[in-house]
Amino acid sequence: MAAWICTKCGYLYDDRFGNPENGVVAGTPFEKIPDTWVCPRCKATKAFFVKK
């Protein structure tokens, strides 16, 4: 499992927890999230995330 951080706002996406509020179930690797997903905090695209 890995964690990814949004470089715009600092939101942390953790594979273990996913983002169920926005349709990403726990255990979903960041790479498998659809490209249409955006940061739930600042709406940045996946391109603004870096692996922690």
Instruction: Give me the amino acid identity at 40.
Output: P
For residue 45, pLDDT beyond 80? yes
As beta bridge partners, residue 3 has 14
Rounded Cα distance, 42 and 50, in Å? 15
Tokens of 33: 């999230």
Rounded Cα distance, 31 and 22, in Å? 16
For residue 14, pLDDT beyond 80? yes
- The pTM score is 0.91
